[in-house]
A and B are shown apart, each in its own frame.
Chain A
Amino acid sequence: MPMATADDGGFKAPTVGEFFPGGLLFVGTPFEMTRINLIGLLMTGVVSVFFVMAFAKPRLVPSGVQNLGEMAVDLVQKNVIDEALGEKGKKYAPYLISMFWLLLAFNITGILPTMHLPVTSVIAIPLMFAVIAWLVFNIQGIRALGFWHYLKANLFPPGIPWPIYILVTPIEFVSTFLLRPLTLTIRLLANMMAGHLLLVLFFSATSALLLADGFVKVFAIPSYLMGLAFTLFEILIAVLQAYIFTLLTAVYIDSATSEEH
């Protein structure tokens, strides 16, 4: 784990510099890769290999990795897709299931030994997921309702006296078409950044307190215990954020493709 400890062994608070590690491969080229990029590639590989192994030769009675694969699919299918999209969710299952497991893999790297940095704690990754979600729900909405009907359904909610549309329509435009991808991005990014900073803070404080002289060493114990507690908490956050991101995407798709909003 990167330690925000000063050169003289004293305590140095962690900064956003934590999320911008130096280049490791292809340094000085446009393809420069940092630790975060490499962890992202590795986790993408892990998720891909897992699903390919699980479903390369599917059997009617599953066993081994196929069992795990089916559990992974069922988890998202039952808790997200069936809940938010119902019958029409089948079409979006490959996208939403991949999204959930990739996000979880990217989030959980924040607490995995030797990695200790969530891939989703740099804005590019959550933003990419959010932009794809934005494209999917808008394109599917337009395909389901037609361009003008889709715009009308989103910008002119029924049951409001028409003069109020002057006030309502600009708000609906900004909240549906501009703020949705932004809120998806910021929610995930801020949670993962904050979690990582807390972990660095507690563990670097533990290290600095242990190296300090005198009675203050004792406080390394509560600091370490807090770090441990937050590590467990981060597991919950990693799962929860992947779930929220996927569920909201499913809800947006459902609302975009429904006649009623």
Chain B
Amino acid sequence: MVGTLVAGPLVWGLIGLGIDQVVGTTRIFLPIGVALGFITSLLLVYVRYGRDA
């Protein structure tokens, strides 16, 4: 569970950072990626562990 909550912002934050580098923007896609990753990881935790509870 902790791994999922860490992996979400990490993976999508890094993808956001990569998009920032490619597009030439400064820290626009990075926070969007972190937020998106965090929300997705919450959804994943719910789907994996919370739905049947």
Contacts and interface: CB of A to CB of B under 8 A. Distances in A.
A42 B11 CA distance: 42
A159 B48 CA distance: 10
A167 B51 CA distance: 19
A167 B2 contact: no
Chain A contact residues, majority secondary structure? helix
B51 to A, nearest CB: 7
Given A160-B47, A171-B37, A175-B3, 16 more contacts: A157-B48, A160-B43, A164-B40, A168-B44, A170-B11, A171-B8, A171-B12, A171-B40, A172-B44, A174-B10, A175-B4, A179-B6, A179-B7, A180-B3, A183-B6, A261-B48
Interface residues of B, number: 19
Interface string B5-33: 01110111001000000000000000000
A180 B11 CA distance: 15
A159 B51 contact: yes
Contacts of B43: 160, 164, 168
Interface string A150-174: 0000000101100010011011101
Contact-residue bracket for chain A: 10 to 19
A182 to B, nearest CB: 8
Contacts of A179: 3, 6-7
Interface of A: 157, 159-160, 164, 167-168, 170-172, 174-176, 178-180, 183, 261
A167 B7 contact: no
B11 to A, nearest CB: 5
